[in-house]
Structure 1
Amino acid sequence: MISKPPDRSRYRLWPPSTGVLAGLGVTGLVLAGVAGAFAYTVGLLSPGALTQTRIVDRFQAVNGIHPGFRRNHAKGVCVTGTFAGNGAGARLSRAAVFGSGAVPVVGRFAVGIGKPFLPDTGAEVRSLALSFRPASGGEWRTGMNDIPVFPVNTADGFYGLLAASAADPATGKPDPAQMTAFLGTHPETARALGLIKARPVSSGFADARYNGLNAFRFVDSSGASTPVRWSMVALDPFVAQVPPSGAAREPNYLFDGLVARLQQGPLRYRLVITVGQPGDPTNDATLPWPAGREEIDAGTLTLDHVEAEGPGNCRDINYDPLVLPDGIATSNDPLLSARSAAYSVSFTRRAGEPKTPSEVQVPARPPATPGVPATGG
């Protein structure tokens, strides 16, 4: 049995201060990003064989060690705001977050790379992690990504994917033959990668749809349990990303665009709960649920402040997917315990390391002009 390191991330300041695979082209960037989605935080792997420590070690081998940073999704910014439930989610879940009233939220936008100083390319997977903190207690943490499915359905498969996409020391590039061999024995990954690469990619963070890739269960006041997945759907109109033509992009253009957008006013997203039906897979994150499943608009997330990562804000939060309130329960998806334990290892390592300033710096908000209401965050 693998022992899970203590989650020291549960003890932190609140409120926050206000102040891999080069050479594979687009496929490589997609793989790097979905790998980052997994290494958000691994537990019940193969006893005696694969451990959460080995998973995190593999990320370090692929990306190098960057002290103080997450082992993946290393490049990001912090946001804060509120979530206002509309009561619709209470039909399925007794969690306080779905009641009436505003719930404080601490979040993080990031890209799925393990090297915090790489320039933005637009091909990375984008992520949104959130910590909901109702006044009555019952914190909920979740990490979502702008992809429709995850590329593997077991921790062993994930470790194999990392190995297949690792750079050959002799060439500095991944060996296409290794990836071909891996996909030949993992048809679920080949199928999932096809869905991931076919997805429409938004122009930035503000207009994306962020999906929780694992199934969970909502538990209502009577104890009845319902399988669900969830998404945060932007209220900003979707704009497709346009490939660069000629002039080079700024190295942090995705994050600069987010900051500029928040200076115009708050960002808003709808929390959409997808309700599973009997037979829908809850233990396989590579499989989408059938179209036409019931969707519940459970409330609105409003983000109105952005800042660079620093002491006491989202930098020091472990967005462990198993930090769940009463009313939200884990499913039989084996990746959930795996993610949770790996996140814990990653958090413990970076918590004890010196902190390097983030590559993404947020300009100080200009003082408001007298008589003119301030906007944005």
Structure 2
Amino acid sequence: MTQPVSSRKYRHGRWLRWAPVVAVPAAFALAFGYAGGWLAPHRLTPKRLIDQFQANAGVHPGYRRNHAKGVCVSGYFQSSGQAAAYSVAQVFTPGQRTPVVGRFAIPGGNPYAPDSSVPIRSMALRFTQADGQQWRTGMNSMPVFPVATPQAFYAQLQAGQPDPATGKPDPAKLAAFFAAHPETAAFRAWARTAKPSASFATDSYWGLNAFEFVDSDGTRHAVRWQMVAQAAADGATPPDNPDYLDADLRRRLAQGPLRWTLRVTLANPGDPTDDATRAWPADRTTIDAGTLVLQATEAQDSGPCRDINYDPTVLPDGIAISDDPLLPARSAAYADSYLRRTSEEAHLPGAARPSANTQPEARR
């Protein structure tokens, strides 16, 4: 690998206090599944993972099994040109404007959950380059992921499954899970003080997983990225309206476009690229790759994001996956969820089949 790259019991009440963050399984815009032999099929498959999401949140036909409640957005990405030295992806060409179809959402498989039920928000984006290639990414408003492997994530989902007698996760099971997984410490520290924001527009979103940029010489650069909000949080308390995030987004966009800065961080040798629980040191080189400009929003049941599978392994030339085991797992589980919901959509009264030209699984 060329440079710069990686060489690669709380009390009962304390658990209950932030159990929803963990128990709502999609707290992380991320789902995992079987891929490429990292687990024997009899132990873990995409089906078992998605079945567990359903066991935790119920089955809501036609909706995503994770991040079920969301809204479509659209706009464009304006490249600053600063990332072009590290990646040949057309999206980073100096001055290039690339159309974007995205989706904001909250965690969980319940499309009727109140927006204040969890403190995490997600941003998913599909960049469509002029050459037809796509870059799809899913990000979350938290700096680290709780676990590093698909196996551990599945165990977390199981620990967070609601008890039929109470409708809530069993604190003892959550405690046992965290005791067995010390790597969750950084996420738990963040979750203790995290509060639901009043707006999608004022949150920043982390990619969490490492990827690789590939430059014109074929040199690979390990990177992570973040969409940093240009709108400042105003300290507003979330209103009682259970759907306030959608209302706020529409209000803001009626006044003008919303913007985020894409910041790309380059790893130093030795920085972990296979562990999303570990943040890289703050002194790493960071570049301003450009500006995301969102101009419109539509309901997810009829908007342009409806038929898109935001598989983060759909990448253009110049961007590649890293050795993070969560990435191929996410791809497999996303595909299982997509097939379930689109099959259900086809049988819902008055529902239309997904448009053929969307090609949500295509690696274009």
User: TM-score if structure 1 supplies the norm length?
Assistant: 0.83
* 5+ residue gaps, structure 1: 1-22, 358-377
Residue 309 of structure 1, CA deviation: 1.5
Change (3 A) 1:229 1:241: farther
Matches within 5 A, 1:68-83: 68-83=62-77
Query: Cα gap change, 1:30/1:258 in structure 2, threshold over 3 Å: closer, same or farther?
Result: farther
Residue 201 of structure 1: how far off its partner (Å): 5.8
Unaligned runs of 5+ in 2: 1-14, 350-364
Distance 2:236 2:159 in 1: 29
Which of 239, 242, 251 is 1:260 aligned to?
251
Counterpart CA distance in 2 for 1:154 and 1:171 is 29
What CA distance in whole angstroms lies between the structure 2 residues aligned with 1:310 and 1:179?
A: 34
Distance 2:231 2:303 in 1: 29
Q: Distance in 1 between matches of 2:137 and 2:32?
A: 10
Distance 1:80 1:170 in 2: 43
CA separation in 1, counterparts of 2:234 and 2:45?
41
Aligned-pair distance for 1:132?
0.2
Q: Secondary structure at the match of 1:128?
A: strand
TM-score, with normalisation over the residues of structure 2?
0.86
Equivalent residue, structure 1, for 2:357? none
Q: Deviations over 1:151-185 (max 9, x none)?
A: 11000000100111111223322111111111111
Q: How many residues align structurally?
A: 331
Instruction: Give the equivalent residue in structure 2 for 1:67.
Output: 61
Following superposition, the deviation at residue 36 of structure 1 comes to 4.4
SS state of the match for residue 38, structure 1?
A: coil
Partner of 2:114: 119
1:12 aligns with: none
Give the whole-Å Cα distance in 2 for the aligned partners of 1:236 and 1:348. Answer: 36
Which amino acid in the other structure matches residue 184 of structure 1?
A
- The residue matched to 2:59 in structure 1 has which SS? coil
Instruction: Tell me if the contact between 1:36 and 1:114 (Cα under 8 Å) persists in the aligned partners.
Output: no
Which residue identity does 2:54 align to in structure 1? Answer: Q
Q: Is the 8 A contact 1:216 1:331 kept in 2?
A: yes
Q: Is 1:46 matched with 2:25?
A: no
Q: Could you say which residue in structure 1 is the equivalent of 2:331?
A: 340
8 A Cα contact 2:264 2:289, kept in partner: yes
User: Are the aligned partners of 1:126 and 1:146 in contact in 2 as well (CA < 8 Å)?
Assistant: yes
Matches within 5 A, 1:3-14: none
Query: Does the CA contact (< 8 Å) of 2:34 and 2:46 recur in 1?
Result: yes
Q: Distance in 1 between matches of 2:287 and 2:188?
A: 28
Task: Calculate percent identity across the aligned residue pairs.
Answer: 52
Of residues 201, 205, 212, the one that matches 1:206 is: 201
The answer to whether the 8 Å contact 2:187/2:277 transfers is yes
Picking from 228, 236, 240, the partner of 1:249 is 240
Q: Deviations 1:48-95 (Å, cap 9, x if unpaired)?
A: 311111000000111111111000100011011011101111011000
Tell me if 1:98 matches 2:104: no
RMSD over aligned CA atoms reads 2.0
Measured in 2, the distance between the counterparts of 1:31 and 1:347 equals: 22
- The one of 289, 300, 312 aligned to 1:298: 289
- SS of corresponding position for 1:148: coil
Q: Distance in 1 between matches of 2:55 and 2:26?
A: 17
Deviates further, 70-79 or 162-171: 162-171
Q: 2:174 aligns with which of 166, 175, 179?
A: 179
Greater CA drift, 203-212 or 233-242: 233-242
Q: Amino acid of the residue matched to residue 287 of structure 1?
A: R
